[in-house]
Structure 1
Amino acid sequence: MYIIGFALLFYASFIVLVQGQCYNNSTCECHCEVCSSGCQSCLPGWSGSPSNLCQKENTLYHFYGMNSKDSKLLDGDKNTSEENDESEPYMLVQLKNYTTIKQLYVHLELENGNTYQAYVKSRKTQREDSVRCDTYTYNGIKAEETITFKCQQPLVGNYLEIVRSLEKPVKVFEIEHYECSNGTFGEQCENICSNACSDQCDKDTGDCVCITGFWGKLCDKPCPSLCKDSNCNSKSGDCIDCYPGTYGQHCQNNCSQGCIDRCNPSTGVCTCKQGYFLANCSRACSENCSDSGCSKENGICLTCLTGNYGPLCDLKCLGECGGECNKITGKCGTCTKTKYGSFCNKTCPVTCEADVCERSTGECKVCKQGFWGDRCTKNCSINCEGGTCDKNDGECRQCKRGFWGSQCSENCSINCEICADAYKCLNCSDGWYGITCEKPCPKHCGNSRSCHKVTGNCQLCSLGYFGNTCTQNCSQYCDQTGMCNQEDGKCKNCKAGRRGEYCTEMCSVQCKNSTCFKNESCVNGCEDGWFGSKCADKCNLEITNCAKCKGIDDEVICQRCFDSVYLKGTKCYKCPQNCVSCKSNEKCFQCEDNLFHGVTCNLTCDSACINKTCDITGNCIHGCEKKKYGSNCNQDCPSECKTCRISSFCLTCEDGFDVGLCSSNRKGMTNSSACIECCNPLILILCRC
């Protein structure tokens, strides 16, 4: 026993499992009684080939249930048996657990004329066909034999039942179910599954599903080396797919160079690049195929390069074609310019317009200017307008001015530019009218004095005239730039200050610049103090004291008030007393007669101001009197001065004092030094010395 354990440890330590209990050196876990020196006999519950270490397991060995009385049937000993004490012809065995059974080996006592059946079931009372294995009928003398009951399909259950047909107890010695250990197969489990199996192989045949890279029933053959990802059919060994550019059973062939990307891995058939044909795109189209396009089946060109024809476009077109020719016959579809004929080998007349003529006849389709006839060999008349005439008969399409006739060889009458014949003029020269243009147009016709050919009415009047014959004068008040309408004489525009259809009425004096439209509305708006489209409404009648206003959406808005009144919002309010103009009742711009000053003109000017006038700040405008000086005339001059500029300089002196400092009394003075002092140039006042 110790030897067996040691051997098992040895295998477990140095050998790696491949499938279940078998290893990659083709050995399996030992189920022999002695494993050290060859397998002489198998452990209980195991059998099979000793050379493969007893891999055939009896899965029912000691697999009875805890309460089962039939342990002798699963003890591996065919010398012990169980027999039903009652007369019922069956033997029921309860298993330890549910198990899967494919076939049973039952060692039992057989009697003549009996049919034996085996059941694998999950309930004691079950006996349906679906849980029954094969039926065995025995005819012979009484004997002990092992009978194989094969199930139609694997059955799962925890009860086994052996039933005989005759009403007598059945005697059973052993019930066995064999299964190879994982990784082995064969009748005696003598073979080891291939390492290339992706899962457990079939324990009877060894068949398995191969891992990538192997094929065959036993997965023992490697896939061809050229298979994509080493992947091949596990039965045939044919590659499942090839790398781009190869094909064949073993991907041994290269795809044609005409294939787009890759070809069918089995057949080599592919989608062709432009310019190749056949199923595998191995042939190149003719170089004369247009855009290298040809039929994939036979290589016939779909269209030819210009100038070629034939199935392979290897023939040159017949003649000078103006493009392609018939792909089959080679005849030109159209000729090049200047050529005609079936094969485009004849030259069109040089007088054909654009050098193009009828292909069959060579006749010009259109003649160049100045020629006519089938081949445009005849000259048009020199009097044809533009030198053009009818291609068929040479008649001028239109004559030059002054000529008539089919060839324009006859002269029109004098003053006639275009005529139908010698007696009827179609278009007169400027200034003439009548059947033969013998009458002069009215003298005031404008536009080079032109008039209607039949009536003589002017087409346009000279500036300042109107009427059919332009004999009436426009109104003198019409604007000179446009004057008046030719039919009724109404002015197009009026001179400044005038209005009405004939501009005979005056514009309102309240219109700015005295200009208005014919409907009396003012062109430039209203003079100050007026509003409305005709400037007929006074601002101060709508808004008291308003000097300037405008109307917006039927509402009058004051823009400026009269003097002594100020604008606040849309109304005018009176300025403070003595205020001539102001911004508000708290701010004056100018005081009345310059007699007042202060922010609201509430202060009178100083009485010492000359004329008692001052500006709004209180500064005297004309200077001081009453022996005062300063900007407000509120400071006293020296007693010697009548008037002064500053406290130390007098403008006029009291009697007996000189102008200037007024400090020297002239009475009895003989010294002239005072005059010199008085005549100081900085004082700018001359002294009387």
Structure 2
Amino acid sequence: MYNRIVKQSITVSSSFTNVLTDGNTTSCISIVTTSSDSYVQIGNESLIVITGMYLFFGDNTTIAGNHKVYCSNTTDSWADGNVLYNAEYVNEDIDVFAVCKYVIYIPPILNGNSKIDICEIEIGGCPYGKYGDRCESTCPDHCIGSCDLKTGNCVFGCSSGWIGEKCDRACDEGKFGSQCLRDCSSNCLSSPCGHVTGQCKSGCMKGWEGLNCTEECSNGNFGLNCSDTCHGCIDNECNHISGVCKINSFCKPGYKYGTYCNEKCEAWHFGTNCNKMCYCLNTTCNIFTGECSISGCKKGWGGDSCDQVSAESSAMIRFGFFIGGSASMCFVLFIVWMVRNARRRILKNQESRKGLDTSHSNRVCPRSGKRRSNVMFNHTDQYEYCYKCARVLLEGDSSDSLYDHI
């Protein structure tokens, strides 16, 4: 890599430190004085992938000692950098691998007349995301980090949802995630899921939610996409699929009793299972607490929920009960008197009939002097007997024929 930006913090015989990256190994700079803070920095703000380096020194170099090279992401500092080289000068390629923004060369300390002629700091590599002989190719999109600078293969693996040497093949159906090792959720409404995140593309089955449909509906919700509510269930706890309340003996105040406790009380009703009524003046009460608005209660009612009979109405009701009770008692006594009176009349009539029946049983038919003791008369027979008897006498029939007629 040539023509990189070069800066220095050393005393040199030439100020043109850019010659260290011009690709010309015959143009050199001489370092005559060094300290512990002396360095030469190569690079800029863009990342570079370094796979090798070579240090060219001139023939006038007289100092022996360790030369250090760091790879750092902080300008003018190597404290947090990676050491690429730390040894005496060796006239050969140095294989390294690093990704950073800056390469920093630290020369050894010079003593007396010692000096260093450095002609080139050659860095092998490509800008981050590039590969090829001239770094002309772009690394595959789904590589993690940089790719191999020669082949373009993803040396650090693939991003989620992709596999292959160049991370150019999506996960097989039913798989997703890093290295395609994860299975799609069985709660997806339909398959396949997204091969990168595992997202259920068509949504979740009843009772499930979340990107991968792996989370049960939160308390108070159930059904498809968790869009139905069971807020009337005790503690908002219901089956996340069916919505049936876990405590199914009663619902929260303000809800009608039912399997799902999701139907609110009708107007003018409130409380547990909506079994209380309020008599607010203008608007209905709160279905949960029963509290009426500031407009107050209808006539005859009081309390926060207007469900208590007022003192005035209570007195009127007691008076009504008294009047109604008295009237009812009088009516009952009248009925008793009527029944007893009717009974007396019936008994009296029965005694009168017995007397008539006895007198008719001993009756003698006129002109014959004969008595029909075996003839019993009721009230009707008495009149019929007299009629027939008179008729026979007028026609002159004998007394014997009279008995034939009757």
Q: Same fold (TM over 0.5)?
A: no
**Bigger relative contact order (CA 8 A; separation at least 6):** 2
Q: Which has more radius of gyration?
A: 1
Larger strand share, 1 or 2: 1
Give TM-score scaled by structure 1 length.
Answer: 0.22
